[in-house]
Structure 1
Amino acid sequence: MTELVRLIREGASVDALGDYLDALPSTRREEEVTTLRRGEQAELFDIAADAAPIRLGHFVPEAAPPLRPVHHAGRNTIATLAHFQRFQKRFARPTEGADRLIGYNASNAWFIKPGYFVAYETDGRDEWERRGGVVVDYHQIPGGDVPRGWPDVVPNSQGLQRLVYLNTRDFMRRVSTHVSIGRASREDAKGDLLLDYWFTLCRRERDSSTENE
């Protein structure tokens, strides 16, 4: 059992979890965050409700220029082999519009790609604000330039990716300086309903501008 798992199971506060994660070396932090399983991720999402609302600057630091990719290593809780639960969310600031980010999912499930999205803060939407400070919205896709090396932009209604991304959103909460936790929702005739799928993200500190694999 990792120390992070122990802290979550003991009901540590989000501040205590953040202090622990911030003190770790980057490789150890990513390792601990991306080994959390479904139950631990669900608990972490609930704990993170007490954190200050997450902001776009968590995903792409404000100093980053437009179209400079920032990678977040992740693990989801979709019922599949652990290898296919590992992925990256890759974010960038668009050339126009400071109130949003663009991005896509780089997944080990090579047959379900690319899952483009637009991310923005949930301020002014009461129900969404309670879910998380930032929403990753798959109803929207980038309308302008994307970073060099990124895949072609296609709608999430196209191909096998529609089974994962069509009509979905991810609501994000802050855990620490580098770590966030998300929960998915799907919109249908009954409304936008939260799903029992969670995922962790850990922002990588190194320059992602040439990291396109």
Structure 2
Amino acid sequence: MSALADIQKLASAPTLDTDALASALDEADAATRLAFVRALTPKMQRRLFDAASRPVTTLDIVPEDTNPLQEVICEGRNTLPAFRLFQKRFCTPSAEYAPDNRRVLWGYNHQTLSGITGPGYFVAYDDAESGELVIDYRELPPERPGEWPQILDNRARLGRFVYAGMVDRLRGLSEHVTIGRAYKAKPMNAWFALVRIDP
């Protein structure tokens, strides 16, 4: 049985062993982790989010030794009826804009509908109480890497129906893989999985 099949078997087992799943994902190579995330069904994503208990912080998304404004890509799959594959691209702030009281990440959504919805910029930060990472579309970064698209208010274009007022919450599955759910005042029927791609 392949490593991918082993991981999928763990993820779909009647009793989900999150520790065993985390170990298998950590031991897998990057291609296997990506294949696992891209194959996740909406039902599996909901189940994994409910079961996930591993804390996740900004350091899990952008490692500490990453240079300011250096892009880190997370490949993603969501539970939408179409356009399920996307990327969330992250970076840490420059020294000029880094807050004194917390570590934050700048980021945006890289996907095929960006021309219609806008890039979906956000600020990500830790929620120490819940152990989750918050991706907050209500807050826009003041800067971006030069190769990223122009920063656009999330209430512009059709982004007002997608990103405006939204917050994502991420939970950890393994060192590279996280699972998230979208919220607008209350939980939405929208989940997604991410896998960090190391350079």
Task: Give the alignment's TM-score, normalised by structure 2.
Answer: 0.90
What aligned pairs does 1:44-193 form with structure 2 within 5 A after superposition?
44-48=48-52, 50-51=53-54, 53-80=55-82, 84-95=83-94, 96-97=98-99, 99-110=103-114, 111-124=116-129, 129=130, 133-143=132-142, 145-186=143-184, 192-193=185-186
The 2-side partners of 1:120 and 1:140 are apart by 11
1:6-44 C-alpha deviation (Å, 9 max, x unpaired): 212213322111111111110121111121010000011
The 1-side partners of 2:113 and 2:60 are apart by 26
Amino acid in structure 2 at the alignment position of 1:193: K
Aligned CA-pair RMSD: 1.5
1:4 to partner: Cα distance: 3.1
Number of aligned residue pairs: 189
The 2-side partners of 1:64 and 1:41 are apart by 29
Which shifted more, 20-29 or 86-95? 20-29
1:72 to partner: Cα distance: 0.1
Q: Which runs of 5+ in 1 are unaligned?
A: 187-191, 207-213
Amino acid in structure 2 at the alignment position of 1:122: D
1:94 to 1:2, Cα distance in 2 relative to 1, 3 A: same
Q: Residue 153 of structure 1: SS of its match in structure 2?
A: coil
The 1-side partners of 2:5 and 2:163 are apart by 31
The 2-side partners of 1:179 and 1:36 are apart by 12
Structure 1 segments of 4+ aligned residues over 2 angstroms from their partners: 1-6, 108-113
Q: Residue 117 of structure 2: SS of its match in structure 1?
A: coil
Q: Which residue of structure 2 aligns with residue 23 of structure 1?
A: 27
The 2-side partners of 1:185 and 1:34 are apart by 22
Q: Which runs of 5+ in 2 are unaligned?
A: none
Q: CA contact under 8 A between 1:107 and 1:113: conserved in structure 2?
A: no
Q: Residue 40 of structure 1: SS of its match in structure 2?
A: helix
Q: Residue 189 of structure 2: SS of its match in structure 1?
A: strand
Q: CA contact under 8 A between 1:34 and 1:201: conserved in structure 2?
A: no
Percentage of identical aligned residues: 37
Q: Which residue of structure 1 aligns with residue 193 of structure 2?
A: 200
1:79 to partner: Cα distance: 2.0
Task: Give the alignment's TM-score, normalised by structure 1.
Answer: 0.84
